[in-house]
Amino acid sequence: MFTSDSPKRRDIQAGDAIRGEWGLSVKLSEQQSNWLDAGIEHFNAGRFWHAHEDWEYLWKSLKGNANQELIDGVQGIIQVAAMLLNHERKKVRGVTNLWIKSSAKLKPVIVGLFGIDIASLYADSEPFHRDVEDFLLDASIVQIKQQS
């Protein structure tokens, strides 16, 4: 879980600017930071639906207030959570479609998003779209990690 007290989260506390290699900038409010953190906590506990819900509030709040790549990046992590939930429910079409959508949204922010190691999330969740015949993989092994 990321916390506001964590040294790696200092740069994304409420009111702080977020900058990526692509020159984007946005300030997260305290509420936005709370939604981000709650979603990460739910995701890492395997509660993908709840993570999806928290991040959807964040995503909606960023619309019109942030660069499209950041907005799409948040939508991409929402879609990863939904894909993993569909995998748990053994829904082939949902897994396949959500992987296509999420991977396209995550690639532009692969260097990181709000302190999240997107490259690791992408690599760890990618095998699930190929596991739709056997459903042998355990979605709970996918964890959101901090950027190093």
Instruction: Write the CATH number for 38.
Output: 1.10.3450.10
Helix (H, G, I), strand (E, B) or coil at 26: strand
**What are the Cα distances from residue 37, in Å, to 42, 136, 137?**
9, 29, 26
In the chain, how many domains are there? 1
The answer as to whether 92 is a domain residue is yes
Q: Which domain holds residue 91?
A: 7-141
- What per-residue confidence (pLDDT) applies to 21? 42
Within-domain flag for 113: yes
2 belongs to a structural domain: no
Residues of the chain with pLDDT below 50 are 1-24
Which pLDDT score is estimated for 25? 57
Residue 147 lies in a domain: no
